[in-house]
Amino acid sequence: MTHECSTYYSADVERGFTHDDPEVAIEWPDDIALLVSQRDVDARALREIADELPLSAYPERADAGPSSAAAFYHSRMPDEHPAVVVDSLSKTFSIPHERVHTLKEKALHPFRRTEYDELRALREVSFAVEPGEFFGMVGRNGSGKSTLLKCVAGIYRADAGDIYVNGRMSTFIELGVGFNPDLAAYDNTMINATMLGLSTKEARRRFDQIIAFAELEEFVDLKLKNYSSGMMVRLAFSVMIQVDADILLIDEVLAVGDAAFQQKCFDEFARIRRQGTTVLLVTHDMGAVERFCDRGMLLERGRVVERGDPERLTSRYLELNFSQDARAAEAQQAGDVPEPVVAAEPDAPTEDEDPEAATRLGDRRAEVLECWFEDEHGHRAEAVHGGSRCTCAMRVRFNGSSENPIVSLSLANSIGDVVVGASNRRGPDLGSFEADSEAVVRVTFTNVLAPDRYWVTAGVAPDVNGLYWHDRRIRLTSVVVTGIGAEGLVDLPYELTTQRGATITSELGS
Amino acid sequence: MKGPSAFGSDMGRFWRLTYALAVTDFKLKFFGSVLGYLWQLMRPLMLFGVLYVVFTQFLDVTGDAKYFPVALLLGIVVFQFFGEATGNSVRCIVNRENLVRKIEFPRLAVPAATVLTALFNFTLNLIPVVLFLLLAGGQPRWSWFAFPLLLALLAIFALGFGMLLSALFVRYRDVEPIWDVVLQVMFYGSPILYPLQTVIDKAGPKVASALICNPFAAILQEIRHTFIDPSHVSATAAIGGTARLLIPLGAIAVVFALGLWVFIREAPRIAEDL
């Protein structure tokens, strides 16, 4: 069996950016780089300047090919600059051990040096977002994604690197920034819209539209403190979409609101997307990434570890969360680098003290290396559609020779019930495997599972019944089954028939 | 490299935001209660009432200057502006934490809006002062046109402190009590409760000229001179010549420049330090 290729090249690379390693360095044409780094120019002014530059301002470098992001875009799309380019951005937070809080202390000990913990939230992050693209930035807790968003948004100043923003940008780290509970909708709308960059005149002109979208016509004069939380969120969201930015930076705003409102947000996202607005979405919800994003990148400990389409990100994300490598790396890094605290995020995968012990057992004479799902076309997928054929696969490595091993896979739903299991206990026999060989086991089935997230437990055991395992990995990976909600645990194909008549009694069951 | 800054890249946005923030604060104050404006007036008027009784009936310090009660009220109102503008500036960045940490905007808009709000309040407080002055027999004079200029000077002085204090408070939390003490000293150290003439008569012109080195005292005295009645000693006369006026003017410039420098330096990091 051949080893699956584990090196992914980012989409950027495939499109012609230079690279030496998966960390893509984007070189800029000198003009733009200078403009941005030397003068703190307004994005708009920059765009104007860039637009005026002739194509010849972006020389194709014969030695390195189309080596700059902008030159590349110019050669392909003369009118289009990338909407956002971030070039080797770094950000370090200094966290003092003992913070001096008062002028008095400062005056009493003017020369006392405070010791700092360096917390490297971002390390040489580079990426480019095309105009009109829906770009996802995902990562686990503390991976630096929120810090990155704040740097791009201009809330934090980066220590090194360049950010190039082409167009009007609005940031939504929180809905309704500047809302005051003691004011009515009008005043709050005005202040929120001004904060987001609308002029007073524009804001006034759009007020009716904002209220109409939020469906709050009856409550315009009500103070915000008397609004329900849903009304408040609706108002905030309507302001946000009326701002007409070319680039939207969104940080998990969708975590709020009920299902109906979220649906409205999603619909609005779809509309924004059709309009050609560039969106950068920060989230740890892989479902949202798959649903909306054209492309994205995965951050881990302040580094870009993966770029590309959502499926690729998802599989890498899960790999990071649950793979042995990540755990080992984590254990190794835990000693010297403190866990970056960026923002508290709920419902992230919980981690035990020693995750391996809790999720893995066996003598490792054979090992389950990885486990994944494939859709009906045989492509790896993190989400499979209900009703389609799909495959659950696992790769096993035999460290010692093995005769007729037993392999098993089981799927548990999000509340932990094992819904389905498959193994070769009742056949077929797998035959013998030599030491240091690998095998891929596939279980293909018609997906009748109800929409949910399912966790796969994979195991390999010697040819004896009982509780002895070579390797058993609990909740190794997960898959999302999409589709329309089923009434039960599974969505079996069924026929529903009716019989009509004035009085039908006994025949009904027959 | 882009990043947060004091002014941002668009001055128009800076002004709009400053104005919007100030108007919001102002509205909050007045639309929150039924007797909004009356409550606003209550504080200076009550203080005025007490001080008036104490200083004119029990301790006679009024001197010869005309319309001293109105001058007293004006002093209280002007000081209230200064105290409010600077005192509220101390906490303004911290109070607006939700904005500062969540959105990119010119950071300077926050203290500027605080000073602007105080200016709005001051304008309202000025109405009874003018009424009292006219009732007491004062006449509108051409020199009233100097008033906006003096007020602008005072606002610049206040903004200078506002920038300095708000930026420092993010790091050092004892700025607030320190500034409270400074304000107290400034209140009693300026000719608010007592006419400057009394100081000249009882302690000598040197003391008076030293008092006027304080920019706040100089501006207040000049406002009284031009606005209430010329019988109030002008700041120029009290300090001893036009050239010496450069001392309070220079102090204003220094405070403003220092405040601006500190604020611009701190602005990029304010969101992280909060």
CA-CA distance, A16 to A130, in Å (whole number)?
A: 14
Higher pLDDT: A459 or B62? It is: A459
Nearest one of A299, A333, A311, A331 to A141, comparing CA atoms:
A299
| Cβ-contact A114, A99 below 8 angstroms | yes
Whether B117 has a pLDDT exceeding 90, the answer reads: yes
Give per-residue pLDDT as tens, A161-189.
Answer: 888 888 888 888 877 777 888 888 888 88
**B11-29 average pLDDT score:** 85
**A54-58 average pLDDT score:** 37
Structure tokens at B22: 């100030």
Say what the pLDDT of residue A32 is: 40
Count of alpha carbons within 13 Å of A353, Cβ hemisphere only? 0
Name all contacts of A464-467 with Cβ < 8 Å and 24+ positions apart.
A465/A425
Structure tokens at A429: 């026999």
**A317-340 average pLDDT score:** 53
| Chain A nearest CA to B245, separation (Å) | 32
Helix intervals (H) in A196-228: 200-214
- Cα–Cα distances in angstroms (integers) from residue A274 to residues A127, A271, A292, in the given order: 23, 5, 12
Whether B259 has a pLDDT exceeding 90, the answer reads: yes
Nearest one of A14, A49, A2, A7 to A29, comparing CA atoms:
A49
CA angle B82, B29, B119 (to 5 degrees): 30
Give per-residue pLDDT as tens, A226-241.
Answer: 888 778 878 888 888 7
| Cβ-contact A44, A197 below 8 angstroms | no
Nearest one of B64, B68, B63, B67 to B51, comparing CA atoms:
B68
Say what the pLDDT of residue A31 is: 39
Mean pLDDT of the residues in chain B: 86
Say what the pLDDT of residue B261 is: 94
Say what the pLDDT of residue B86 is: 95
Q: For residue B99, give the nearest of A158, A178, A199 by CB distance.
A: A178
Whether A508 has a pLDDT exceeding 60, the answer reads: no
Say what the pLDDT of residue A27 is: 42
The three-class DSSP label of residue A42 is coil
Query: Is A196 within 8 Å of B103 when comparing Cβ atoms?
Result: yes
Tell me which chain B residues have a C-beta less than 8 angstroms from the C-beta of A343: none
Residue of chain B whose alpha carbon sits nearest to that of A34 = B1
| Cβ-contact B209, B240 below 8 angstroms | yes
**A269-274 average pLDDT score:** 77
Whether A332 has a pLDDT exceeding 60, the answer reads: no
Tell me which chain B residues have a C-beta less than 8 angstroms from the C-beta of A240: none
Q: Which residues of A touch B (CB under 8 A)?
A: 36-37, 40-43, 45, 93, 100-104, 106, 150-151, 153-158, 161-163, 165, 171, 173-174, 177-178, 180, 182-183, 187, 190-191, 194-197, 199-200
| Chain B nearest CA to A9, separation (Å) | 28
Say what the pLDDT of residue B162 is: 95
Query: Is A103 within 8 Å of B21 when comparing Cβ atoms?
Result: no
Say what the pLDDT of residue A465 is: 61
Q: What is the 3-state secondary structure (H, E, C) of B162-189?
A: HHHHHHHHHHCCCHHHHHHHHHHHHHHH
Give per-residue pLDDT as tens, A192-236.
Answer: 888 887 888 888 888 888 888 888 888 888 888 888 877 887 888
Say what the pLDDT of residue A77 is: 45
Strand partners, A380: A374
Say what the pLDDT of residue A124 is: 87
Query: Is A187 within 8 Å of B4 when comparing Cβ atoms?
Result: no
Say what the pLDDT of residue B89 is: 93
CB neighbours (10 Å) of residue A337?
15
CA-CA distance, A200 to A133, in Å (whole number)?
A: 29
Higher pLDDT: A280 or A10? It is: A280
Whether A75 has a pLDDT exceeding 70, the answer reads: no
Query: Is A156 within 8 Å of B103 when comparing Cβ atoms?
Result: no
CA-CA distance, A307 to B176, in Å (whole number)?
A: 48
DSSP category for residue B142: G
| Chain A nearest CA to B156, separation (Å) | 24
Higher pLDDT: A412 or A486? It is: A412
Indicate the burial class of A158 (C-beta count within 10 angstroms; 0-12, 13-18, 19 or more): buried
| Chain A nearest CA to B22, separation (Å) | 10
Mean pLDDT of the residues in chain A: 72
Structure tokens at A272: 């924004």
Query: What does residue A68 show for φ and ψ, rounded to 5 degrees?
Result: -115, 150
Structure tokens at B122: 């001051």
Structure tokens at B253: 């410039």
Between A and B, how many residue pairs show a Cβ–Cβ distance under 8 A? Answer: 104
Give per-residue pLDDT as tens, B131-189.
Answer: 888 888 878 888 888 899 999 999 999 999 999 999 999 888 889 999 999 999 999 98
The three-class DSSP label of residue A412 is strand
Which is it for strands A134-139 and A278-283: parallel, antiparallel or unpaired? parallel
Say what the pLDDT of residue A23 is: 37
The three-class DSSP label of residue B219 is helix
Q: Which of A302-316, A380-394, B160-174 has the lowest mean pLDDT?
A: A302-316
Say what the pLDDT of residue B87 is: 94
Give per-residue pLDDT as tens, B82-91.
Answer: 999 999 999 9
Say what the pLDDT of residue A358 is: 62
Q: What is the 3-state secondary structure (H, E, C) of A124-191?
A: EEEEEECCCCEEEEEECCCCCHHHHHHHHHCCCCCCEEEEEECCCEEEECCCCCCCCCCCEHHHHHHH
Strand partners, A402: A433
Give the confidence band of B253 by pLDDT, cuts at 50, 70, 90. very high
Give per-residue pLDDT as tens, A473-483.
Answer: 888 888 888 77
CA-CA distance, B228 to B224, in Å (whole number)?
A: 5
Whether A149 has a pLDDT exceeding 60, the answer reads: yes
Say what the pLDDT of residue A68 is: 42
Nearest one of B145, B144, B148 to B156, comparing CA atoms:
B148
Q: For residue A154, give the nearest of B3, B98, B172 by CB distance.
A: B3
Contacts of B179 (CB under 8 A, 6+ apart): B86, B87, B90, B165
Give the confidence band of B251 by pLDDT, cuts at 50, 70, 90. very high
Give per-residue pLDDT as tens, A446-456.
Answer: 888 887 788 89
**A471-495 average pLDDT score:** 79
Higher pLDDT: B192 or B155? It is: B155
| Cβ-contact B89, B166 below 8 angstroms | yes
Say what the pLDDT of residue A256 is: 59
- Cα–Cα distances in angstroms (integers) from residue B16 to residues A187, A192, A203, A237, B133, in the given order: 14, 12, 12, 22, 35
| Cβ-contact A165, A152 below 8 angstroms | yes
Contacts of A440 (CB under 8 A, 6+ apart): A1, A393, A394, A395, A396
Nearest one of A16, A10, A24 to A313, comparing CA atoms:
A10
CA-CA distance, B110 to B14, in Å (whole number)?
A: 10
Query: Is A195 within 8 Å of B32 when comparing Cβ atoms?
Result: no
Say what the pLDDT of residue A346 is: 38
Q: For residue B104, give the nearest of A40, A101, A154 by CB distance.
A: A154
- Cα–Cα distances in angstroms (integers) from residue A338 to residues A115, A123, A325, B3, B106, in the given order: 15, 15, 19, 26, 32
Tell me which chain A residues have a C-beta less than 8 angstroms from the C-beta of B3: 40, 151, 154, 156-158
Q: What percent of chain B has pLDDT over 90?
A: 34
**A75-97 average pLDDT score:** 74
Give the confidence band of B11 by pLDDT, cuts at 50, 70, 90. confident
**B26-50 average pLDDT score:** 77
| Cβ-contact B178, B169 below 8 angstroms | no
Tell me which chain B residues have a C-beta less than 8 angstroms from the C-beta of A191: 20-21, 24
CA-CA distance, B271 to A102, in Å (whole number)?
A: 19
